[in-house]
Amino acid sequence: MWRIILGVEEEVSSFVLPMGATVNMDGTSLYLAVAAVFIAQAFGMNLSLEAQLGIVATATLSSIGTAGVPGASVTMLVIILEQAGIPEAGLALIFAVDRPLDMLRTVVNVTGDAAVSMVVAKSVGKLGEPKKKD
């Protein structure tokens, strides 16, 4: 089995990745916003532009506070549904598919963290050449 070393020096990655694991939750933020809109549509609700922007803002802010454990974002989804006036009963539509989606959210979160570490390394001049390692 082989892996690709991206060329980010340890000095940069040891600073960026712990912070990114806490703050940079791209997948979680996207999931929360999409799930809230999905539940609203399932209930036949028409969301105004202001309501949709409120959902996006709340999803972005609450994803920062979401714990990095499986299923934690469902708890944050309750906050977003309450803020947007969407019935919390819609969570029943999400529970069945949350586990596989949670794994996909993790992939997006980790990919975002890796991308940010490469951008930071490039901006401070500490990005080397990628290498393939056995």
pLDDT digits (tens, 9 = 90+) for 55-89: 999 999 998 888 878 888 889 999 999 999 999 99
Give me the sign of the Cα torsion angle 118, 124, 128, 134: negative
Q: Tell which residue, 74, 65, 70, 78, has the closest CA to residue 106.
A: 70
Instruction: Name the band, by pLDDT with cuts 50, 70 and 90, for residue 134.
Output: low
In this predicted structure, which of 10-14, 56-60, 99-103 has the lowest mean pLDDT? Answer: 10-14
> Between 22 and 58, whose confidence is greater?
58
Summary mean pLDDT of the chain? 89
Question: What pLDDT is stored for residue 1 in this prediction?
Answer: 38
CA distance 13 to 118: 8
pTM higher than 0.95, yes or no? no
Q: Which domain holds residue 92?
A: 3-133
Give pairs for 100-105: CB < 8 Å, separation 24+: 101/31, 102/70, 102/71, 102/73, 104/27, 105/27, 105/28, 105/30, 105/31, 105/73
Across 2-6, 8-12, 97-101, 129-133, which has the greatest mean pLDDT? Answer: 97-101
- Dig out the tokens for 44 from the structure: 């036949």
Question: What pLDDT is stored for residue 34 in this prediction?
Answer: 96
Across 15-19, 39-43, 102-106, 107-111, which has the greatest mean pLDDT? Answer: 39-43
Asked if residue 61 lies in contact with residue 106, where contact means CB atoms within 8 angstroms, the answer is no
Provide the number of structural domains found in the chain: 1
